[in-house]
């Protein structure tokens, strides 16, 4: 039974009806519910857990991320320390309605007022968003609206392009503006009336558990997922056709397209998947079932939950499901991210809905058909038979044109026969697709081409009809081959890791086994020149490893016992033995490849523009062509043949192929090029937005600096040399755990230490010990003053070093000072160059740090930053980002966890050194896999190149259409010339986009935009 919020216990007790709903208060413990509008991801949950765990009286935490609520069980006298702790880390926390009220403790008339549920002014508005149709766009919207204070809950219906927003805002304008900022054009649909204080019954019916709002009503998806391989789904034209047809199948909830791998995931509520396959066959799609996750055996449901990878998520799921009626047992497997639920329910819809409310994205699956962690097969390319058919079609088409030119006549039987044979061999697939488009009323390029060919044949232009459809077929094949290059760029990421590994067996033998069968903790040996199959930690051996596939580093990295190695990297010279820390499918390389695959499914702003343009442009040109064919002959006495021919040429020109295909190829090429350089971009949206950044906020510790202290100065004062002073200091400090001592010991390295006797720690001052019969002291200025050795030379050295924001200690005997040693968090070698490159790009670097201003200014001066903001708490950083964002788009670079609020608020959040870090890879918009800040200007340059290529492609495609439209209208363009122009434009934009895969010769070459 849940306890009532602490603030409700201060006055009169709840009535009987509410007591049964809310539960009685425990004698010692209180339970408070906090609304935290800017808490919506696991990185913020981790930051909150870390901060509140430092409060002695906090007993338990329960997170409701989708509802942005936190329940804290504690024995504090009041919840104020909790509020203050949350505010310290930038969390905008407030107590629930009852707790934040008068403190009388009365429940009020309704459950809502008793439990701290929906406020009386809560509204729910429904928005129609035509461009929202995949989970990556849902994630972008969640991230953006999660920054709006007053937004309480979101409910998505991707199939219907609808978004329901529960909020306490005075109007919906902030929501519309936020959606518009990320390229989502939203229309306000039906407006749900806010609950009224007098509507007790309705309010009681909608009240959720204590302290939580009721979920927004909507159909619960069952999570049944059908994964299909569709070998002839190559471009957005087929996607649009499939989306339109499956949108009419009752029970289909969501479609997730992966054009690059020719795959479609269908989430549905169907008893069987026959209607989906039948609908795809109707429109000519060659679909085969790769994985069918149908209903589980009666009484058991097995879910694949990609976001469940640590005990935090397990605890969240247990809390949500254990008390659910009908659920008898839960079995978690965090390694494979699966959850098995034993239940007595008629179906799994309620369980799936409960998991989805936690933002976990569950997939209900059949345990006998597990989904592969990363897709490796990408369908077949163009086979030899197709080339032979197209070659024969070309000979016949050109032969028909030659015979007509020789005087046989365009309607003679030899010419017509050769033309028909060419159309049958080289154009039958286009004609089939055109017929399907006509049946489904989809005005696409296949329908336009079919009408043009049939029209040419009807007016007797048989050779041109044959040449046009043959050229179109050739263009489609070359385009498909070009797309295969983009697909291969992604597949190459996954093929880096070998399929086998040399694993030590129980009897001590080393045996080559399949990588997917290697368990956690197994010992793997990698010989010189071999690729590493799995992530792990080195236990023996030493070598240099080429980590370019993961981090983009140009130079090999030395690996010794205790160092981490990544799957897909290359062992160069020595033999390494490492302990496996990630199974196949869960390695850093797998996560990168999976992220790139998912990112290419997120439509970039340019692609949305192209889609909207093509949806208007194609019907408009079709209508214009009809008008050109009909109006002049009817009204002005023009020749039917001449104007009909011009109309057919215009139809061919109207094909938006070049326009539609240019954006996805360019974006995928950009994403793959970035991944090769160790920059993981989470979608085309961020790849395009990067070129707009005008300021970048940089955390100091761990970003500009190494994040750990190291010895910077050893000033000998005469009695001992520098080396001898360092030996004595390291020998003493080897017995201390202080960070300054650790830095001194690390600087001395693996050389042998002197033997220390009678070691003693001097609290707040330093340490002392005897070495070779002499008592040595090492500590701060206070210790030096106590010993009486702080003469002018010592004070001058201490003041000079501390002015440089360094921590200085004195090595001395009881009679004299021997040396002054200084320790500091050193600046990364790459930081100064990265800052200089940012300035060259017109991007203002700003330092945001919690360190003292003196230290911050010293580091800033070293790297060249003029805008320095020190002594900042997380909420100060959040305010700084808001202030910078009000002027222009801003990025934020941090470690992905501690700077979570500021990272979420920035237009683009960058995680520094994300290799091997699950949280950073999953939560950042852009993950810089290497600890090298120069990757940031490299990303901005790549973004500008991508933007330039996109603009050039779109401009070229539209300009080509306009020019040939004019030529067609004036009678200077023929059908075959029009199709050559269309084919040329398509190939030009595709190859222009693929140039991004090659990239510049140097990672830091300046690119002209």
Residues involved in catalysis: 699
For residue 903, count CB atoms less than 10 angstroms from its CB and return exposed for 0-12, middle for 13-18, buried for 19 or more.
Answer: buried
Phi, psi of 908 (to 5 degrees): -135, 125
**Helix pair 462-494, 588-600: axis angle to 10 deg:** 150
d(CA 905, CA 283): 44
Whether the CB-CB separation of 324 and 354 falls below 8 Å is answered with yes
Q: Which of 881, 854, 882, 879 is nearest to 868 (CA)?
A: 854
Looking up tokens 């160069």, which residue turns up?
572
Structure tokens that stand for 976 in this block: 């075959």
Looking up tokens 């008629």, which residue turns up?
346
d(CA 686, CA 392): 46
d(CA 507, CA 637): 95
d(CA 5, CA 23): 10
Sign of the alpha-carbon torsion through 115, 116, 122, 128: negative
DSSP for residue 238 = H
Whether the CB-CB separation of 420 and 397 falls below 8 Å is answered with no
Q: Which of 940, 952, 928 is nearest to 1006 (CA)?
A: 940
Looking up tokens 């969240």, which residue turns up?
316
Whether the CB-CB separation of 296 and 252 falls below 8 Å is answered with no
Whether the CB-CB separation of 865 and 837 falls below 8 Å is answered with no
For residue 170, count CB atoms less than 10 angstroms from its CB and return exposed for 0-12, middle for 13-18, buried for 19 or more.
Answer: exposed
For residue 987, count CB atoms less than 10 angstroms from its CB and return exposed for 0-12, middle for 13-18, buried for 19 or more.
Answer: middle
- Give residues with Cβ within 8 angstroms of 300, minimum separation 6: 340, 341, 342, 343
Looking up tokens 């000979």, which residue turns up?
395
Dump the DSSP string for 948-994: HHHHHHHHHHHHHHHHHHHHHHTT---HHHHHHHHHHHHHHHHHHHH
Sign of the alpha-carbon torsion through 201, 203, 209, 211: negative
| Per-residue CA distances from 728 to 763, 777, 806, 813 (Å) | 20, 10, 21, 11
Find the helix or strand (DSSP H, E) in which 22 lies.
helix 16-22
| Per-residue CA distances from 207 to 117, 150, 204, 355 (Å) | 7, 19, 5, 19
For residue 681, the cross-strand partners are 926
Dump the DSSP string for 764-780: TTEEEEEETTEEEEEE-
Grouping H, G, I as helix, E, B as strand and the rest as coil, residue 932 is coil
How many CB atoms are closer than 10 A to CB 443? 17
Q: Which of 220, 365, 359 is nearest to 300 (CA)?
A: 365
Grouping H, G, I as helix, E, B as strand and the rest as coil, residue 583 is coil
Whether the CB-CB separation of 259 and 235 falls below 8 Å is answered with yes
d(CA 979, CA 475): 9
d(CA 358, CA 355): 5
Structure tokens that stand for 423 in this block: 């159309």
- Give residues with Cβ within 8 angstroms of 723, minimum separation 6: none
């Amino acid at each position: 039974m849940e306890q009532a919020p602490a603030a409700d216990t201060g006055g009169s007790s709840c009535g009987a009806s509410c007591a049964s709903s809310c539960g009685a208060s425990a004698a010692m413990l209180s339970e408070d519910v906090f609304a935290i509008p800017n808490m919506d991801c696991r990185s913020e949950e981790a930051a909150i857990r870390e901060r509140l765990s430092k409060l002695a009286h906090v007993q338990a935490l329960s997170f409701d991320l989708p509802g942005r609520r936190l329940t804290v069980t504690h024995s504090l006298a009041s919840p104020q320390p909790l509020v203050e702790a949350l505010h310290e880390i930038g969390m905008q926390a407030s107590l629930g309605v009852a707790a934040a009220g008068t403190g009388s403790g009365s429940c009020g008339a309704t459950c809502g007022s008793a439990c701290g549920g929906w406020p009386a002014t809560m509204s729910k508005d429904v928005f129609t968003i035509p461009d929202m149709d995949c989970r990556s766009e849902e994630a972008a919207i969640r991230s953006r609206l999660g920054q709006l204070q007053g937004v309480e809950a979101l409910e998505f219906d991707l199939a219907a392009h609808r978004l329901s927003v529960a909020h306490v805002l005075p109007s919906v304008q902030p929501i519309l503006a936020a959606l518009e900022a990320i390229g989502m054009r939203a229309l306000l649909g039906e407006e749900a009336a806010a609950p009224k204080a007098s509507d007790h019954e309705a309010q009681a019916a909608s009240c959720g558990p204590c302290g939580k709002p009721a979920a927004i009503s909507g159909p619960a998806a069952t999570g049944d997922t059908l994964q299909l391989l569709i070998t002839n789904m190559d471009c957005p034209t087929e996607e649009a056709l499939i989306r339109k047809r499956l949108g009419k199948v009752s029970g289909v909830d969501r479609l997730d397209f992966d054009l690059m791998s020719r795959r479609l995931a269908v989430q549905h509520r169907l008893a069987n998947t026959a209607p989906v396959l039948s609908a795809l066959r109707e429109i000519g799609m060659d679909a085969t079932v790769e994985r069918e996750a149908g209903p589980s055996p009666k009484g058991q449901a097995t879910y694949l939950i990609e976001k469940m990878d640590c005990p935090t998520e397990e605890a969240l799921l247990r809390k949500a499901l254990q008390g659910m009626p009908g659920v008898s047992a839960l079995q978690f497997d965090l390694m494979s991210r699966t959850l098995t639920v034993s239940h007595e329910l008629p179906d799994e819809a309620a369980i799936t809905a409960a998991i989805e409310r936690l933002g976990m994205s569950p997939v209900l699956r059949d345990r006998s058909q597990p989904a592969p962690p990363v897709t490796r097969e990408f369908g077949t390319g163009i086979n030899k038979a197709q080339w032979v058919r197209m070659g024969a079609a070309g000979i016949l088409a050109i032969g028909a044109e030659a015979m007509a030119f020789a005087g046989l006549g365009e309607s003679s039987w030899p010419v017509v026969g050769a033309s028909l044979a060419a159309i049958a061999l080289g154009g039958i697939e286009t004609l089939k697709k055109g017929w399907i488009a006509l049946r489904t009323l989809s005005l696409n390029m296949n329908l336009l081409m079919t009408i043009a060919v049939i029209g040419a044949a009807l007016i007797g232009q048989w050779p041109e009809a044959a040449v046009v459809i043959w050229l179109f077929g050739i263009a489609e094949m070359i385009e498909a081959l070009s797309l295969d290059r983009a697909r291969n760029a992604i597949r190459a990421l996954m093929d880096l890791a070998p399929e086998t590994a040399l694993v030590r067996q129980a009897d001590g033998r080393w045996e080559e086994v399949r990588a997917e069968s290697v368990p956690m903790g197994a010992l793997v040996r990698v010989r010189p020149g071999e690729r590493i199959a799995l992530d792990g930690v080195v236990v023996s051996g030493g070598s240099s490893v080429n980590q370019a596939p993961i981090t983009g580093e140009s130079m090999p990295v030395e690996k010794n016992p205790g160092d981490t190695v990544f799957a897909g990297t290359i062992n160069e010279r020595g033999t390494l033995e490492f302990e496996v820390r990630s199974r196949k499918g869960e390695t850093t390389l797998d996560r990168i490849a999976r992220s790139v695959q998912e990112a290419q499914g997120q439509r970039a702003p340019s692609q949305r523009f192209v889609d909207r343009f093509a949806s208007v442009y194609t019907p408009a040109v079709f209508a214009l062509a009809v008008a050109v064919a009909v109006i002049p002959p009817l009204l002005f006495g023009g020749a039917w043949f001449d104007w009909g021919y011009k109309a057919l040429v215009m139809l061919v020109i109207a094909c938006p192929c070049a326009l539609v295909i240019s954006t996805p190829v360019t974006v995928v090429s950009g994403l793959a090029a970035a991944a090769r350089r160790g920059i993981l971009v989470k979608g085309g949206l961020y790849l395009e937005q990067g070129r707009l950044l005008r300021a970048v906020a940089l955390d100091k510790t761990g970003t500009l600096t190494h994040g750990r202290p190291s010895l910077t100065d050893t000033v000998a004062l005469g009695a001992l040399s520098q080396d001898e002073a360092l030996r004595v200091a390291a020998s003493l400090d080897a017995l201390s755990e202080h960070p300054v001592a650790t830095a001194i010991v690390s600087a001395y390295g693996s050389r042998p230490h002197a033997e220390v006797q009678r070691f003693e720690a001097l609290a707040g001052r330093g340490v002392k010990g005897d070495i070779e019969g002499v008592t040595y002291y090492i500590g701060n200025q206070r210790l030096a003053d106590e010993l009486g050795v702080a003469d002018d030379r010592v004070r001058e050295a201490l003041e000079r070093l501390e002015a440089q924001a360094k921590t200085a200690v004195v090595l001395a005997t009881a009679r004299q000072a021997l040396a002054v040693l200084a320790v500091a968090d050193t600046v990364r070698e790459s930081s100064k160059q990265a800052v200089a490159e940012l300035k060259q790009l017109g991007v203002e670097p700003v330092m945001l740090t919690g360190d003292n201003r003196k230290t911050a200014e010293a580091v800033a001066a070293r790297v060249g930053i003029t805008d320095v903001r020190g002594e900042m708490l997380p909420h100060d950083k959040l305010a700084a980002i808001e202030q910078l964002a009000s002027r222009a788009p801003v990025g934020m670079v941090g470690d992905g966890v501690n700077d979570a609020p500021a990272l979420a608020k920035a237009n683009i959040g960058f995680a520094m050194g994300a290799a091997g870090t699950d949280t950073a890879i999953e939560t950042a918009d852009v993950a810089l896999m290497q600890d090298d800040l120069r990757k940031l200007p490299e990303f901005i340059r790549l973004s500008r190149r991508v933007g330039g290529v996109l603009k050039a492609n779109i401009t070229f495609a539209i300009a080509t259409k306009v020019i040939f439209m004019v030529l067609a209208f004036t009678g200077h363009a023929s059908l075959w010339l029009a199709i050559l122009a269309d084919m040329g434009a398509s190939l030009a934009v595709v190859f222009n986009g693929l140039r991004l895969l090659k990239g510049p010769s140097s990672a830091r070459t300046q690119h002209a935009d």
